[in-house]
Chain A
Amino acid sequence: MNLLNLSIAQMFDFAAPILFAALGGVVSENAGVVNIALEGIMRFAAFFGVWGAFIGKNPWMGLLWGLLIGAAVGALHGYISVTWAGDQIVSGVAINVVAMGIITYLLEFVFKTTGYSPPVPYFGAAHYRVHISFISKIPILGAFSNLTLLVWFSLIAVGLIHFMLYHTVLGLRIRAVGENPHAAETLGVNVMKIKWFATILGSVLAAFGGISLSLGTLSSFTNAMPMGKGFIGLAAMIFGKWTPIGALLASLVFASAQIVQLLLQGMASGIAKQIPLGFYLALPYLLTIGALIGVVGRAVPPASDGIPYKKEG
């Protein structure tokens, strides 16, 4: 494989966790539930994924554990912010803080270490990859010849969620609830049920993102995970205007910033060499701020995004 194809493939590896988190945000916020706990959920899922793979001796077990814990933490967020109509940001921050502490503790408790877990079976291993050998020599297309299952999942998820949001009855109702839950309620839509569904599905998607981190290209959990990928995912969601396809493009832009940074570090000369590393790390956020203040096409959230819903009377 040539350098171009390699770089593109690597970009997809980088993009997958961001994209999953962004899709989680898209689903959740289209139903009006802001979920900044995505970061914490990724951390839970990244760890439990490794733990599951360690015990079950295969990554599928890890995936299952990761998704279950993601759904469970999502349910906590749902209970606080949907059923209880509490503040969604407070709930999210709380979950993130808890994730920080508990997982550090569990890492020590389970693996007797404070830094890295031992390597476990992971989806990046050659026999878990999706080989499409006949395209491997073709420029650009060749990048798709040896991707991990998780990357493919992330791309398929974009299509599925797009279809769900814009072509199914459920999707129409999700978006209605995010725009005007009172209107939806008066038409007999079960607002609570929809919000719960979107919160759990969003959390499960974020859990996929966490697993992509620890069982995707890496094969272990490091205590720094998910290194802000959940927040970058939310940034990608905003940059992508709360749509799945927008989230995909934004995730690719953000991931390629990382690739460019890696490439430049290796071979840059002149001015490019003098651009500080921090700039590339900050790029996703700078672009997002641009999207919010309307520099790169204005991003408008669903009208009732983040507003707790209580039934009247």
Chain B
Amino acid sequence: MKALELKGITKQFPRVLANDHINLSIEKGEIFSIVGENGAGKSTLMKIVYGLYTPTSGEIYVFGKKVNMKSPHDAIKLKIGMVHQEFMLIPRFTVTENIVLGDEPRKGIVFDFKRAVKEIREISEKFGLKVDPLEKVANLPVGIQQRVEILKILRRGAEILIFDEPTAVLTPEETEDLFKTLRALKKDGKTILFISHKLKEVMEISDRIAVLRRGKLQGVVKKEETNERELARMMVGREVVLEIPRVKVEKGPVVLSVRDLAAKDHRGILKLKGVSFDVHAGEIVAIAGVEGNGQMELVNSLIGFTRPVKGKIVLNGEEMKLITPYNVRRKGMAYIPEDRKRRGLVLPFKIRENIIMGQHTLYPFSKGGILNDKVINEFATKQVEEFDIRPRDIYINAGNLSGGNQQKVILAREMAMKHNFLLASQPTRGLDIGAMEFVYKHLIEEKKKGIAILLISLELSEVLGLADRILVMYEGEIVGETVPEETNEEELGMMMLGIKRKERLVQ
């Protein structure tokens, strides 16, 4: 039986054709994946199925019946549930309140909290999704928050479950847990729509896979009859080089030197406990480590968001005292932030504004406090072309771009800034393969130009592929130093978990 059929679904946004005549047919009880690069139109399609967007044209059939959804309320009634890419939770509410909201057990007008808690205990038991009904959502780790989201839709009796990039925010262990849940749900006869751009995961969990590219359906394939390489090619539209080319560059003088640097996090806990290292011109030094082991505090100290409690930072031979983002940038530091939406861009500003930010006070972009629109537009147009930012429209708001294109705007800005040191903090976080490849290419370009690069990364493949030297951080300390030729993912993994230490002998 067909659980869901889409016929000719099209969604036209003011500037983008997000979905272009999509036809899909999904069987009851299968795990059906939809892959595609960021901005391919996956979320848009799912929001249409969930009644959040009205399609410009096209028809939807749910369990054989033609439907016309106007809001999520209609979708819920049709037994469709969605776990959104950005969680739809209320941190201040309890797990119970979050789950029952909108369909609360009641006695007259009174909210029957006790019965609600009992209900949550029951369904949590039934589906093997353990949660504490009385805990506040704000206190839960992301994996459990996602569980709350899943319980929310299961309680509404969802038969078709949509997961929009559910693994993007999860750790590998949490992802395994989620996959167990998905398999159990499938066994239960539920139909699952799984959205992702991580091919490894898709190959692990799906029965069938649909590939979207720029709003168009590229094809639907059975898992057994395909492989990562083919999927990548369908997604990107050409062969993708997943391997990072090794480039050797003659190492230059020290550009950044950090000595015994220690810093606290925003709650005043000492997270960085005295680290020392150098970065030379033409060298990529990677900091590997599990998130939350002091990387954030290191970045914040370097860029001037945190005042270190002790230690020394020397940039281009000059000791930096009282660091502010303004003066480190003047001294030649460029920065690709880990969180593009918060730190990298002003989302409601246009590309042309974002792309000069930081240099907007400087000639030729402005003179005497007056912006020179002509020069800015010329510059922005040139960069948009050179960095292949899509759409090629410098007047579009940064917030309306896909993640990959947002990252390209940041690259286009930072690369154009006068610099000889690049702080790249998780530069490929949340990006799809095509965009990752693009970022790698530019990092290598930078290295060739003799720029000193400090790469902070959680991805071991990235660290091993790009770095000339690897420092492993664990609990605020550097517990190991090595080079890619002398190590492997396993060893790095052990160091990252604090199981193994390694000092590299000075050559």
Q: Which residues of A contact B (CB under 8 A)?
A: 167-173, 175-176, 179-180, 182-189, 303, 312-313
Contacts and interface: CB of A to CB of B under 8 A. Distances in A.
B109 A170 contact: yes
B109 A186 contact: no
B93 interface: yes
Contact of B90 (A168, A169, A180, A185): A180
A193 B177 CA distance: 39
Contact of A188 (B53, B103, B106, B111): B103
Contact of B109 (A168, A179, A185, A313): A168
Given A179-B93, A180-B90, A313-B47, A169 B76 contact: no
A108 B405 CA distance: 63
B88 interface: yes
B111 A167 contact: yes
Contacts of B47: 312-313
A176 B73 CA distance: 16
Given A189-B101, A313-B53, A182 B88 contact: yes
A176 B90 contact: yes
Q: Which 6 A-B pairs have the closest CB atoms?
A: A187-B102, A313-B53, A188-B73, A183-B88, A179-B90, A188-B102
* Interface of B: prevailing SS: loop
B152 A187 contact: yes
Nearest to A170: B109
A303 to B, nearest CB: 7
A32 to B, nearest CB: 12
Nearest to A179: B90
A167 B93 contact: no
B111 A187 contact: no
Contact of B101 (A182, A184, A303, A312): A184
Given A167-B110, A172-B104, 20 more contacts: A168-B111, A169-B106, A171-B111, A179-B93, A180-B90, A182-B88, A183-B90, A183-B98, A183-B101, A184-B101, A185-B71, A185-B72, A186-B50, A187-B72, A187-B101, A187-B103, A303-B90, A312-B47, A312-B52, A313-B54
Contacts of A186: 50, 52, 72, 82, 84, 88
A170 B101 CA distance: 10
A189 B104 CA distance: 11
Nearest to A302: B92
B101 A172 contact: yes
26 contacts: A167-B111, A169-B104, A169-B106, A169-B111, A171-B111, A172-B104, A172-B111, A175-B93, A179-B93, A180-B88, A183-B88, A183-B101, A184-B101, A184-B102, A185-B71, A185-B72, A186-B84, A186-B88, A187-B76, A187-B152, A188-B73, A188-B103, A189-B101, A189-B102, A303-B90, A312-B47
A312 B71 CA distance: 10
Interface in B59-118: 71-73, 76, 82, 84, 88-93, 97-98, 101-104, 106, 109-111
* Interface of A: prevailing SS: helix
B52 A188 contact: no
A167 B107 CA distance: 10
A167 B116 CA distance: 13
Contacts of B71: 185, 188
B120 to A, nearest CB: 14
A183 B71 CA distance: 13
A79 to B, nearest CB: 22
A192 to B, nearest CB: 11
A183 to B, nearest CB: 4
A186 to B, nearest CB: 5
Interface in B116-158: 152
Contacts of B103: 187-188
Given A187-B103, A313-B47, A168 B110 contact: yes
A235 to B, nearest CB: 22
Interface in B456-497: none
Contacts of B73: 188
Contact of A179 (B54, B84, B92): B92
Contacts of A183: 88-90, 98, 101
Contacts of A176: 90, 93, 97, 101
A34 to B, nearest CB: 18
Nearest to B105: A169
Nearest to B74: A188
A313 B50 CA distance: 12
Interface in B391-450: none
Given A186-B82, A187-B72, A173 B101 contact: yes
A169 B110 contact: yes
Contacts of B109: 168-170
Contacts of A168: 109-111
A172 B82 CA distance: 22
Nearest to A168: B109
B63 to A, nearest CB: 20
B72 A188 contact: yes
A175 B90 CA distance: 10
Contacts of B88: 180, 182-183, 186-187
B94 to A, nearest CB: 11
Contacts of A312: 47, 52-53
B239 to A, nearest CB: 35
A137 B152 CA distance: 57
B88 to A, nearest CB: 4
Contact of A172 (B54, B76, B91, B97): B97
Contacts of B106: 169
A221 B39 CA distance: 61
Most buried by A among B53, B71, B102, B104: B102
Most buried by B among A183, A186, A187, A312: A186
Interface in B34-53: 47, 50, 52-53
Nearest to B116: A172
Contacts of A313: 47, 52-54
Nearest to A190: B73
A294 B102 CA distance: 34
A303 B92 CA distance: 9
Contacts of A185: 71-72
Nearest to B72: A186
Nearest to B152: A187
Contacts of A187: 72, 76, 88, 101-103, 152
Contacts of A172: 97, 101, 104, 111
A301 to B, nearest CB: 11
Contact of B91 (A173, A175, A182, A303): A303
Contacts of B76: 187-188
A199 B103 CA distance: 23
B223 to A, nearest CB: 30
A165 to B, nearest CB: 10
A187 B76 CA distance: 8
Nearest to B11: A313
Contacts of A182: 88
B11 to A, nearest CB: 8
A98 to B, nearest CB: 30
